[in-house]
Amino acid sequence: MKRYIGTALLIFLVACGQGESSNTDAPSSSAAEPPNTESTENEDQDSESNSVQETISFDIPATDHDTIATLIREFTTTELSPDENADFYLEHEEPGREGNFVLLVTSDVEAVADRLQAFIETDTNAQKTQTIHIDKVEFSSTFLENAQARLYENRAEFLENEFSFFGSDLDVINNTVVLQVRTLEEVNMDALKEEFGQTDFLTFNESIVGDIKNDEISIPSEEPSFKGIIEEIDGTFVLINDEIYVSTSNATIIDPSGVIAPDDLKLGDQVNVWTTGAHDAVKPTRGSALFIQRVNE
């Protein structure tokens, strides 16, 4: 039989938007008025619609972060259903949680905490404890991963054209899918809502060239991702300083004369390149260019 860990549970239930009602004496009337059932029903509906953020925190004997990470990974894999598990992460910034692991679930946090404690066997050799936080969120990892796949497969239905889409990422901490797009104006929000029934699980990042108009080409205000010489041209990819192969397919490319085509780029050209920021973990790396400035002197 597994031994339960003696822990101090701290339960924080924060109810949003629930105020106290004040009682005042109403002026008397000659006839009793019927109760305002419509108002009561509306208040009940508002109360039900108010979101309740649940979190629970407790300490377990453990030597280091690797031990906790392994434990949580095993627990989420074997004890949580795909509809419950929303992944976990190590908090680096939030005061009071910095350096602690946070487990995200879609079910009752107290019940999950009980199951996690029952899953853990006491480490009698541990000289210190580690704090775990369990937060309730709306979307499971399975839902977000499936949504991300559907967004990519059907991107032509949700965006003005294929060049409007620069990729997507899963944001575990904020429990969303992040869509990288050229401009928000090119996103068909109605089509997204029709496909998924909602868009609350989505956040959007506009590209650094999102505010560039067709009739006015300006250089992005951010520093270039890469600066250097074009050392190789392979179809739609160009190699910069033996550092990165960038795809020019979706890029806006300019030189002092104005907008130019990818085919106008030549070996030896000096360029400044702004990319999507998503690069392969190889050397030289690979990525997609958003904006290329040829600065030949």
* pLDDT tens, position by position, 108-128: 999 999 999 888 865 556 678
Strands 176-181, 202-206: pairing is parallel
pLDDT range class, residue 56, cuts 50, 70, 90: very high
Taking alpha carbons only, the member of 178, 280, 205, 183 closest to residue 237 is 280
In the chain, which ranges are continuous DSSP H helix? 37-49, 65-78, 109-119, 141-153, 155-158, 189-196
Contact 227, 261 (CB under 8 A): no
Tell me what pLDDT residue 150 has.
94
Q: Is the pLDDT of residue 238 over 90?
A: yes
CA–CA separation, 7 vs 87, rounded Å? 23
Token couple for 84? 């419950």
Q: Is the pLDDT of residue 211 over 70?
A: no
What does the pLDDT look like over 214-230, one tens digit per residue?
445 667 778 888 999 99
Contact 55, 105 (CB under 8 A): no
Lowest mean pLDDT among 24-33, 111-120, 126-135: 24-33
Tell me what pLDDT residue 13 has.
32
Tell me what pLDDT residue 218 has.
66
Contact 104, 172 (CB under 8 A): yes
What does the pLDDT look like over 64-103, one tens digit per residue?
888 889 989 999 999 999 999 999 999 998 999 999 999 9
Token couple for 217? 């080409």
Q: Is the peptide bond before 220 cis (omega within 30 degrees of 0)?
A: no
Tell me what pLDDT residue 14 has.
33
Token couple for 11? 């339960």
Distances (CA, A) of 189 to 125, 138, 156, 205, 278: 55, 20, 13, 14, 24
In 97-140, which ranges are continuous DSSP H helix? 109-119
Taking alpha carbons only, the member of 220, 56, 199 closest to residue 131 is 56
The residue assigned the tokens 């009980």 is 114
Burial class of residue 132 in the structure, from the number of CB atoms within 10 Å of its CB (0-12 exposed, 13-18 middle, 19+ buried): buried
Taking alpha carbons only, the member of 86, 18, 15, 19 closest to residue 51 is 15
pLDDT range class, residue 278, cuts 50, 70, 90: low
Contact 159, 98 (CB under 8 A): no
Q: Is 28 helix (H, G, I), strand (E, B) or coil?
A: coil
Q: Which residues of 99-122 are buried (b: 16+ CB within 10 A; e: fewer)?
A: ebbbbbbbbebeebbeebbeebee
Distances (CA, A) of 291 to 38, 117, 179, 252, 278: 57, 52, 19, 5, 14
Read off the pTM: 0.60
